[in-house]
Amino acid sequence: MTISQNDPVWHVKFYGVRGSTPVCDPGFQRFGGNTTCIYVDLLTNDRSKLIGIIDAGTGIRKLGKEIMKGTIPKTDHIMLAMTHFHWDHIQGLPFFDPAYEPDTKIAIFSPHHQMQKDELRGIFERHMQEDYFPVQLSAMGSEIRFFTEEEYSSYLSFERSIEFTHRMHNHPGGACSYRLSANGKSLVVCTDLEHGEELDPEVVAFCKDADLLIHDAQYTDEELPSHRGWGHSSYSQAIACAEQAGAKQLVLTHHDPNHDDDFLEHMETQCKLRFPRCVMAREGMEIMV
């Protein structure tokens, strides 16, 4: 599924749109069962060879295979920005084929509570200890670097002339929203976000006038009260955020593992009645901004 706009600046492709845990049951395949992974590319004539990825959920496995096959142009520079480190956002990295290529350089970044490089590396090293996985991080083969906030922002701006901003938002343990702007077009990713009883005005301000807003929408209004403190938003909260921020297009993501295809299609129809320029995220969906 491809959604196009005139004179696109950004190419966004969704490889994982499920929240909490992957799902492989029948009835969950039209939207997809893999957890969060979003591919982002800047469409310019002079772009350098660089791949941008947000989160390493199980969807990153397929992205890696497409990179190796050349479906996504193969490159030796991959930038991976993490929103946070819950299982569903990191568990795909050990299955990311380019990470085993000696000529590949992977830069991993998170501004999580001003985390230092050694702390960030430690999260992934523990995740891949021999008790949990047969290949340790240091033995994967590629050059994996961990960037501080200042280093990552400078590198990204230098390489791609991208305005790159972020902020921490409400989620158990903390999570990060990202905003990327270039050539007058901006996209914002706000997943694993809990607003509270009222919309968080700082989140709305961060999303102001976004050409594309990708927003957490795990629950219905009826489900939300029994999931307070779980760190997620409802469909109506995501739409209200887009409305108040003046976002031009909204993608609802981080689908609950209990919401099957029929449920999501029904909710998509209902959401479009209020905000016509919205769509439920689907694996393989591409958007040109």
Position with higher pLDDT, 62 vs 7: 62
CA angle at residue 83 from 87 to 211, to 5 degrees?
Answer: 135
Per the DSSP assignment, residues forming a β-bridge with 175 are 169
**Would you place residue 75 in the very low, low, confident or very high pLDDT band (cuts 50, 70, 90)?**
confident
One-letter amino acid of 174: G
| Cβ atoms 25, 35 nearer than 8 A | no
- Mean pLDDT, to the nearest integer, of 113-140? 90
In 3D space, the residue among 77, 60, 74 whose CA is nearest the CA of residue 22 turns out to be 60
pLDDT in tens, 197-249: 899 999 999 999 999 999 999 999 999 999 999 999 999 999 999 999 999 99
Beta-sheet strands, E only, within 43-162: 51-54, 77-81, 105-109, 143-147
111, 140 contact by CB (below 8 A): no
Q: Using CA atoms, how far apart are residues 132 and 257, in angstroms rounded to an integer? A: 24
Per-residue pLDDT tens over the stretch 28-52: 999 999 999 999 987 755 444 567 8
Quote the CA–CA distance of 214 and 226 in Å, as a whole number.
24
Distance from C-alpha of 62 to C-alpha of 240, rounded to nearest angstrom: 33
Taking only Cα atoms into account, the Rg of the chain, rounded to an integer number of angstroms, comes to 18
The CA-based angle 200-202-206, given to 5 degrees, is 120
**Range with the lowest mean pLDDT among 152-166, 201-215, 260-274?**
152-166
Separation of alpha carbons 95 and 53, rounded Å: 15
Q: What is the DSSP string of 202-234?
A: HHHHHTTT-SEEEEE--B-TTTGGGGTTS---B
**Position 9 confidence tier, pLDDT thresholds 50, 70, 90:** confident
pLDDT tens-digit readout, 162-180: 788 899 999 999 999 999 9
Domain residue extents for the chain: 2-286
Mean pLDDT, residues 41-65 taken together: 81
Q: What pLDDT was estimated at residue 151?
A: 66
More confident residue, 56 or 50: 56
Mean pLDDT confidence for 92-98:
97
Residue 237's contacts (CB-CB under 8 Å, 6 or more residues apart) are 195, 199, 217, 224
Residue that is written with structure tokens 């060879």 in the block: 49
- Backbone conformation region of residue 192, classed left if phi is above 0, alpha if psi is from -120 to 50, else beta: left
Q: Which numeric CATH code is attached to 2-286?
A: 3.60.15.10
Residue 9 makes CB contacts below 8 A (sequence gap 6+) with 42, 43, 44, 182, 183, 184, 185, 289
Q: What pLDDT is recorded for position 194?
A: 97
